[in-house]
């Protein structure tokens, strides 16, 4: 490669009452997965992009781990 790729990273936690925003972000972003590339496909250092939606328990008292409720992977599609 002679030119750098673009990489998009995002991590936004939204409160329960903003579920519609979470769904809008999900619906806006998932169509772009089809244009994502896999870096070093099939090798030990493979990098494959993904979009994950989690239920986050970090503000609960006591905090509990996040749970992945939906996941899309570049070149594979929805896996959860």
Residue among 66, 69, 70, 76 that touches Zn ion (CB under 5 A) = 66
And the tokens for 61?
């008292």
* Residue at shortest CB range from Zn ion: 56
Picking from 67, 78, 21, 20, the residue whose alpha carbon sits closest to that of residue 10 is 21
Which part of the chain contacts Zn ion (CB under 5 A), choosing from 4-12, 22-30, 32-40, 49-57? 49-57
Residue among 39, 53, 56, 73 that touches Zn ion (CB under 5 A) = 56
Binding residues (CB under 5 A) for Zn ion: these are 56, 58, 66
């Amino acid at each position: 490669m002679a030119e750098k790729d673009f990489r998009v990273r995002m991590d936004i936690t939204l409160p329960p009452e903003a579920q519609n925003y979470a769904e809008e972000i999900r619906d806006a972003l998932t169509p772009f997965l089809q244009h994502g590339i896999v870096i070093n496909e099939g090798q030990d250092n493979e990098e494959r992009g993904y979009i994950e939606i989690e239920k986050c328990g970090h503000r609960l008292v006591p905090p509990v781990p996040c749970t992945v409720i939906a996941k899309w992977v570049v070149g594979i599609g929805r896996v959860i």
